[in-house]
Amino acid sequence: MAKKSKPQNIHDELNFARFGVISMHSRIDQNITSWNTEFTVNTRTFRIEAITPQGRPHGIDTDTLVALETLFVAHGCPEDNWVHTTAYAVRELMGLSNNGENYHRLRQSIRRLYFTSVIVGRKTALTGSQRIGWDNVGVRFFEGLRYRDSEDNGELSTLDSEATFSIRLGEQLASSIRAGISQVLDGHLLHQLEQPPARALYRTLQAHRRQDDGTLLTELRVPLSQWRQATGLTTDRSDLVRRALEAAHDELRANNYLEHASIEGRGKTAVACYVFADVAAADPALVVMLRQAGVTVARAASLAGRHPDRVEEALRFLEHRRQATSGSVRNPGGLVADFLENPSKYDLPPDFIAPEVRQGQRKVQAQRQRAQAEQEAQLKTEAEFVELNAAPPEVQWAAQRATLQLILKRHLNADQWAQLEALALRGEIQAAELTRALVSAAATSSLGQQVDQLKEQLHSLGSTLRHR
């Protein structure tokens, strides 16, 4: 699936992300049209009763929901809860290719979400009693739906990409987003994650690791029996649960969201354990400062994590604007957030930025330039290797002979070196591949082992030649 670029920030209502209604499975038994579950994660206990006439939401339904929530925020959280857009815009935000099959998938997805009805219970201790009570509320993802579709030979119903496509968010969902009970997901990370289960697990993890004060847990441990329910995995076979989770774990580790992920123990005692690669952990003090300026909890945590060196500058800018407008700033939290996310929009006098802040910004810029230069150098080296590896044996040997001699001069005797040269010129040993392996081994302190393997290869090929 070729994916388009997504915006940097994707908005998602926090409580709905914790309910586990959308399964992280890519495929699911569509004949199961009602279910209920109860689970506890991070001291929060949920009881879910769901009716899903079109089948339980799953797969790309996570992407569909957060795309429409993001558009709701982008449109200013309309009071009537309607989002008026096009199927093209939703699909583009989801990162799906522009083809009929994906408009069909989007149609199926919005119908599953629209028909889903849920009663959510939150456990509570009854005052003056040892009994446990449940506060229950009926919720829906969508309460209104208008779209145009078409048929291809009577078989494939697809959304009209350019016709007006309107969704009315459920009352609880829209009200929560409007009240700031939401999380900001990393659009770049979502773009990098190839498979829907990994994107769904990222959303669920991010929701459950968030504390009530907006800070994020650095570690999360959940009994596997509870985590299965929270992620919407429908099987109760622990081996299948492990398999589904581990594939998503691999993607999240590879994209530097998780530093560690494992399932410890067996059977009923198994626990899912996560350590987050918090490259942008939010400083609680900065979160509090942003909250005092009027930024919502979730957005404050995200901004403090991504722009820690500019938070104080943003707050000074807010004060500067208040003085310039006699204290009248209509949306101070929104101004601070926009200042942090879109600095190019604001033309500041040179003396506005404190010297230590300018120095920090220069340092960050220098680090980014170094990282970019290193990446470009690595790409160039890789391209040169690919080109050389496709060259004739004699060209490879001529290009790599000096490097190989420098690395191997203390490890090979004259006869072994002569044998290596003969085999390389015949193409039985690829000089480019060999150089790359030796350089990599030297960098990881395993050169001796790599040289031993080369000597075994020389001995083996030499024996083969003698018996021809």
Mean pLDDT by 10 residues, the chain (468 residues): 50 87 89 90 90 93 93 88 93 88 93 94 72 84 92 74 92 87 80 88 93 83 94 87 91 88 88 81 72 76 80 87 80 88 79 59 64 63 72 87 82 87 88 83 75 86 61
- For helices 414-426 and 447-466, the axis angle rounded to 10 degrees is 70
pLDDT recorded at residue 261? 92
pLDDT of residue 381: 59
Cα Rg for the chain, rounded, in angstroms?
A: 28
Token reading at 429: 């040993």
The whole-number pLDDT of residue 463 equals 64
What pLDDT is attached to residue 435? 85
What are the start-end ranges of the H helices in 307-392? Answer: 311-324, 332-341, 355-389
Give the pLDDT of residue 275: 92
Q: What is the pLDDT of residue 5?
A: 43
Chain mean position to CA 370 = 25
Residue 258: strand pairing partners:
276
Name the amino acid, one letter, at 213: D
Q: Could you say which DSSP state residue 260 is in? A: E
The phi and psi torsions of 142 (rounded to 5 degrees) equal -130, 145
**Tokens standing for residue 453:** 């393997």
The pLDDT of residue 7 is 47
Q: Residue ranges per domain, the chain? A: 9-276, 284-353, 391-466
pLDDT at 373: 63
Q: How many angstroms separate the Cα of 433 from the Cα of each of 36, 121, 336, 404? A: 56, 60, 53, 11
CA distance 32 to 52: 8
The Cα–Cα gap between 461 and 8 comes to 54
Query: Which residues are CB-contacts of 222 (< 8 A; sequence separation ≥ 6)?
Result: 41, 42, 208, 230, 271, 272
pLDDT score, position 141: 95
Is 0.75 topped by the overall pTM?
Answer: no
